[in-house]
Amino acid sequence: MKKSIAAVLATAFLLTSCSSSTTATNLDAAGFADQITKTDVITLDVRTPGEFSEGHIEGAINIDVEGPSFDSEIANLDKTKSYAVYCRSGRRSIIAVDKMSATGFEKLSNLENGINDWLANSLPLVTS
């Protein structure tokens, strides 16, 4: 009996630890475009600085999720604000919103399929 209870608890732990902690709302390009027009939303591009300079959504702030200072840079952001997060394909933005959620950010939106979806919908980019 003890072994079966332990097995059930171990299985439950594994299932919950493998699930994403993301509290982000996943949006398609049209929904994301609408979201970032709201005055209280900060657009966050989590791609590399090189990718950002090649073209980004107007008004976006660049903080590279794979850069060494990502954690310290998001620690300086206001956790009470809303953030719309994107990358190239959606993989890195999910990593970013997971990290942000784990540190107390609650109002997060994620661009599903990233800037690729944005461009496929003929939405504009700016260069820096």
Cβ-based neighbour number of residue 66 at 10 Å: 12
| Calpha distance 108→79 (Å, rounded) | 10
Q: How far apart are the first and last CA of the chain?
A: 64
CA distances 47 to 3, 12, 13, 41, Å, are 47, 34, 32, 19
List residues with catalytic annotation: 87
* CA atoms lying within 13 Å on the CB side of residue 84: 25
Convert 70-93 to b/e letters by CB count within 10 Å (16 or more is b). beebbeebeeeebbbbbbbbbebb
